[in-house]
Amino acid sequence: MKVLVTGGAGFVGSHFVRAALADRLPGLEGAHVTVLDKLTGGTFDNLGEVAHDKRLDFLPGDVSDAALVTMLVARHDTIVHLATEPGITDVVGAHVLLSAALQSNIGRFIVVSGAEVYGSVSSGSSSERTPLNPTSPDAAGKASADLLALAHHRTHGLPVTIVRPTSTYGSHQHPANPIPRVVTRLLDGRSAPLPGDGSQVRDWLHVYDLARALAMVLSDGRPGEIYHVGGSVELSHRDLTALLLEQCGAGWDRVAPEPEPPGHDARHALDDDRIRHELGWRPRVEFDAGLHATVRWYREHRAWWEPLLPYA
């Protein structure tokens, strides 16, 4: 298998690539991986441990570059699209990839989206049949890219599958994201931020479990379908902050309230019965163990995250 991973130097992408090259993902044993990433959100250091693997090629570039993308797609039989950009840029990148895929004999095309396309869910959980209701422009861009991809399946038979994970955590995540933002600030001797009243609720999924889910969808998922990947625990931001304070040996005196970001949904929740029943996926990483390992990684890799603090 020859797999093109867009955004493969980012948080989720680099975990997927490292696990694939270590033959830890079902169906991807022996696969050759090409990473296309313009390194705005990710860093080549995320691929450091596999940088010299003979099964890895890396190209710095933009998924919106039609000439480059067309050339790359023609050399691959599988696409995992993880590259994201704010708002309409998500749609442009998806359009370029989908157009290139139509010109080539692509066997599988996975588009990785997110729970934010449904907007806030006051109770219960969103199923794959729930109407899209994005709140922010970024979520609207992601939802639009999803619809464009599914339309290419219905109109042209392109073997596209959408994967929508819930909030994901783990090592190598940029400190602008909720968990590493709290952890790195505490480790740096500063106050941890708490948006609004801390009542926002997210379901947390370890990044390795998401990588496994992507591999299973590649192997056995149905083209034209959507698969949710849920987490193992649902927490308010206040409760999550309490766990992180405990992990870092800090108290609530180290917490500083800040305004809630505009368009910030109160709650995300996904019904992931489809991927469980059809593909047999289950989360393997228990949240307490995963969170402990994540905090330990940031504690031991200050040189990785410290240069990123001005952008967090």
Q: Per residue of the chain (312 residues), give pLDDT as tens.
A: 999 999 999 999 999 999 999 999 999 999 999 999 998 878 899 998 898 999 999 999 999 999 999 999 999 999 999 998 776 778 999 999 999 999 998 999 999 999 999 999 999 999 999 999 999 999 999 999 999 999 999 999 999 999 999 999 999 999 999 999 999 999 999 999 999 999 999 999 999 999 999 999 999 999 999 999 999 899 999 999 999 999 999 999 999 999 988 888 999 999 999 999 999 999 999 999 999 999 999 999 999 999 998 777
Residues 6+ apart with CB under 8 A from 124: 269, 271
CA 185 centroid distance within chain: 22
Q: Which of 70, 203, 58, 239 is nearest to 126 (CA)?
A: 203
d(CA 172, CA 14): 8
d(CA 157, CA 295): 44
The pLDDT of residue 87: 67
Set out the domains of the chain in order of their start, with CATH numbers: 2-167+205-229 (3.40.50.720)
